Amino acid sequence: MKVNSSIAIANGPPVSMNTLQKIGAAMGTFGLLIVLISATSFDFPNPALWLTIALTAMAGGIVIYSKGLYDHKSAGIQNDGVWLKSSSNRGLIAWMSGIALTVFYILLYFYPQTLGLREGDNVGIISLFDPLSKLLSGNPASQWFIYGALYTLCIAFFGVKFFWKYRHNRYQKLRTISVVFFQTAFAFLIPEFMSRLNSESFALPYYDLKNIWPLNYYNFYGYRVDEFISAGSIGTALLIFGILSILVITPILTYFYGKRWYCSWVCGCGGLAETAGDPYRHLSDKSLFAWKVERWVIHLVLVFVVLMTSAVIYSFLHDDPSKYWLGPDAFLMGMVGILILVFGLVWFFRRDELKKDVKIAAPAALIVILGLVGIHYLFDQRLFLFDPYKLREWYGFLIGAVFSGVIGVGFYPLLGSRVWCRFGCPMAAILGMQQRFFSRFRITTNGGQCISCGNCSTYCEMGIDVKAYAQKGQNIVRSSCVGCGICSAVCPRGVLKLENKEDTGASRYDSNPITFGNGEVKLNP
């Protein structure tokens, strides 16, 4: 039997740390400090040793902290004090961590030399990581290697923390194992090993296989396509895999399982949000206004990435037609064909479910794109009017760096963990559209059991007002839902269940405005 006195947090809200948590926090900070000291270009005598110490301290610190946090509590929902703590309630600690993360991202993307990146021998933080990089790929580290290593460390060890937190919930545990696996193997180790295979005559591009275009917006840039092709049949296979990923694999899996198969089981952005970002999930904005912004912004990013990628591919196919099997015009027609097909499918089968603004915005977007293609051919203007390489640069800067990194992760402690996934990610936009219209996935509401307590909405990282559906007895079918399952977990009344059921049409989200079981009442008597 557990004795209550082990919980040394009498007096006031449960916000103070216990001894284990303090030890864990101290260890983690120590590890981080080593990294920071190396940033001052202090040369550690034995970088391999110090790096090992730093990484072990950080990883061990997280694990010990988690043990202190959860081990003495019985398995179950662990949200005590979430809104009372400075770190998770946009207090001073949250602002400080937000600023620190943001600064890190700015340095990473725009000033890698401050981290010690050099043409010759690296210095600073980057040199600290050289031993690990050389061990894996044989090459010296770069800022991206450090980023990848720290990112993976975060997912893996905050994954341990998350696992502990949800140890009563197998859905959460399996999902966490999955994201940790995909991050460690696919995003981090395999590409490093792949580059070990590279030689003078054979070079594969750095390829995280699970990172699918358009999230991986650079996958079909000319230099990568060239690398793929020049790497013979393996390279070509990888290139084809990249195309099939978005055109075939994604639609099939999303049809059966909803977008969650990617967003909360595989994807690295999702992986970080679900693990390191978990303490901030409740900070997502639930207002109707935020939902409106979300729908516009994410789809505009999608249009942007489609235009940008098409322009880039078109231009390199155009500039060097002899090099490629596919001609620029055939490519462009293919793109246009796919767009019309997708649009046609939605319009034909699901027109009645489109909201008013979508009925205007979607055809408008299609007409603009077709119009731009038309202008290109008829008036011999540049495709999409802009220099493709400028488009590419802007996209990389605005979306790739600022949105997904600086805002997306830097603002975790202030805006919640899924800002990028919700407002920015074009992959999420594609998956979401399919989830909304052509998928078996839904969150089923259990009859009349909802007590409108609000836990589900509060802890939905995507800012979905789950309760608004549940209290009406309506299933939740929302394009943004990443299927994290937390709403279902925190619901104290067993109301929500994530399911893949056969019916995919409108019956998926029939609403019943009368409480289940309330016999005599009819809405339209």
Partner 1 sequence: MKEERIIIIGNGVAGITTARHLRKRSNCRITVISSESKHFFSRTALMYIYMGHMKYEHTKPYSDDFWEKNRIELLQARVDEIQPNEKQLKLADGETLSYDKLVIATGSKTATYGWKGLELEGVQGLYSLHDLQQMEINTKGIQNAVVVGGGLIGVEMAEMLHSRGIHVKFLVREDRFWGSVLPKEEGELIGNHLISEGIELRYQTELDEIIGEGKVQTIKTKSGETINCDFVGICTGVKPNVDFLRNSALEIDKGILVDEYLQTNLPDIYAAGDCAQLRNARKGRKAIEAVWYVGKMMGEVLGATLAGSPTKYNPGHWFNSAKFFQIEYQTYGEVPANLSSGQASLYWQASQKEKALRVVYESESRKLIGIHAFGIRLSHPQCDSWLKTGIQMSELINELPKANFDPEFYENPFPEVQQTFSRQLKEPQL
Does 496 engage in binding with ligand SF4 (CB under 6 A)?
yes
For residues 445 and 494, is the Cβ–Cβ distance under 8 A?
no
For residues 438 and 459, is the Cβ–Cβ distance under 8 A?
no
Contacting ligand SF4 (CB under 6 A), which of 151, 313, 486, 508? 486
State the CB neighbour count (10 A cutoff) for residue 88: 21
Does 256 engage in binding with partner 1 (CB under 8 A)?
no
Contacting ligand SF4 (CB under 6 A), which of 467, 475, 477, 508? 467
Task: In whole angstroms, give the CA distance from residue 345 to residue 339.
Answer: 10
Does 17 engage in binding with partner 1 (CB under 8 A)?
no
Contacts of partner 1 in 471-500 (CB under 8 A)? 471, 485, 488-490, 492-494, 497-499
Paired with 275 in beta bridges are none
What do you get for the CA distance between the two ends of the chain, in Å? 57
For residues 152 and 188, is the Cβ–Cβ distance under 8 A?
yes
Antiparallel, parallel or unpaired: β 441-445 and 496-500:
antiparallel
In the bound state with ligand SF4, the residue whose beta carbon lies nearer, of 81 and 448, is 448
In the bound state with ligand SF4, the residue whose beta carbon lies nearer, of 310 and 480, is 480
Contacting partner 1 (CB under 8 A), which of 75, 247, 345, 385? 75
Which residues lie below 8 Å from residue 360, measured CB to CB, with a gap of 6+? none
In the bound state with partner 1, the residue whose beta carbon lies nearer, of 236 and 507, is 507
- The phi-psi region of residue 483 (left if phi > 0; otherwise alpha if psi is between -120 and 50; otherwise beta) is left
Which residues lie below 8 Å from residue 398, measured CB to CB, with a gap of 6+? none
Does 341 engage in binding with partner 1 (CB under 8 A)?
no
In the bound state with partner 1, the residue whose beta carbon lies nearer, of 19 and 74, is 74
Contacting ligand SF4 (CB under 6 A), which of 26, 300, 451, 514? 451
Contacting ligand SF4 (CB under 6 A), which of 146, 239, 491, 508? 491
Q: Please report how close the Cβ of residue 177 comes to ligand SF4 at its closest, in angstroms.
A: 18
Does 179 engage in binding with ligand SF4 (CB under 6 A)?
no
Task: In whole angstroms, give the CA distance from residue 433 to residue 417.
Answer: 21
Residue 91's binding partner, choosing from ligand SF4, partner 1, none, with beta-carbon cut-off 5 to 8 A by kind? none
Task: In whole angstroms, give the CA distance from residue 395 to residue 302.
Answer: 11
Task: In whole angstroms, give the CA distance from residue 220 to residue 243.
Answer: 9
Using CB under 8 A as the binding criterion, the count of chain residues that bind partner 1 stands at 66
For residues 123 and 244, is the Cβ–Cβ distance under 8 A?
no
- The phi-psi region of residue 385 (left if phi > 0; otherwise alpha if psi is between -120 and 50; otherwise beta) is left
Contacting partner 1 (CB under 8 A), which of 134, 168, 323, 359? 168
Contacting partner 1 (CB under 8 A), which of 454, 474, 504, 509? 454
Does 462 engage in binding with ligand SF4 (CB under 6 A)?
yes
Using CB under 6 A as the binding criterion, the count of chain residues that bind ligand SF4 stands at 27
Does 269 engage in binding with ligand SF4 (CB under 6 A)?
no
Q: Please report how close the Cβ of residue 411 comes to partner 1 at its closest, in angstroms.
A: 20
Range 221-228 contact pairs with CB under 8 angstroms and sequence separation of 24 or more = 221/312, 221/392, 222/312, 222/313, 222/316, 225/313, 225/316, 225/324, 226/323, 227/203, 228/204
Does 142 engage in binding with partner 1 (CB under 8 A)?
no
Does 67 engage in binding with ligand SF4 (CB under 6 A)?
no
DSSP 425-486: -HHHHHHHHHHHHS-SEEEEE-TT------HHHHH-TT---HHHHHTTT--B--TT-----H
Task: In whole angstroms, give the CA distance from residue 142 to residue 151.
Answer: 14
Residue 481's binding partner, choosing from partner 1, ligand SF4, none, with beta-carbon cut-off 5 to 8 A by kind? ligand SF4
Sketch the per residue contact string, 173 through 192, with partner 1: x for CB under 8 A, - otherwise.
Answer: -x------------------
Residue 486's binding partner, choosing from ligand SF4, partner 1, none, with beta-carbon cut-off 5 to 8 A by kind? ligand SF4
Q: Please report how close the Cβ of residue 59 comes to ligand SF4 at its closest, in angstroms.
A: 27
In the bound state with ligand SF4, the residue whose beta carbon lies nearer, of 298 and 487, is 487
In 25-41, which positions are buried (b, 16+ CB within 10 angstroms) versus exposed (e)? Answer: bebbeebbebbebbbee
- Binding part of the chain for ligand SF4, among 23-31, 90-98, 365-373, 450-458 by CB under 6 A, reads 450-458
In the bound state with partner 1, the residue whose beta carbon lies nearer, of 212 and 283, is 283
**Strand, coil or helix: 516:** coil
State the CB neighbour count (10 A cutoff) for residue 266: 22
Is-cis flag, bond preceding 214, omega within 30?
Answer: yes
Q: Please report how close the Cβ of residue 294 comes to ligand SF4 at its closest, in angstroms.
A: 13
Does 80 engage in binding with partner 1 (CB under 8 A)?
yes
Contacting ligand SF4 (CB under 6 A), which of 67, 85, 472, 493? 493
Sketch the per residue contact string, 428 through 447, with ligand SF4: x for CB under 6 A, - otherwise.
Answer: ---------------x----
Taking only Cα atoms into account, the Rg of the chain, rounded to an integer number of angstroms, comes to: 25
Does 156 engage in binding with ligand SF4 (CB under 6 A)?
no
Site for partner 1, rule CB under 8 A: 1-4, 7-14, 74-77, 79-85, 168-171, 174, 287-288, 446-449, 451-455, 457-458, 467-468, 471, 485, 488-490, 492-494, 497-499, 513-523, 525
Site for ligand SF4, rule CB under 6 A: 443, 450-456, 460-462, 464, 466-467, 470, 476, 481-487, 491, 493, 495-496
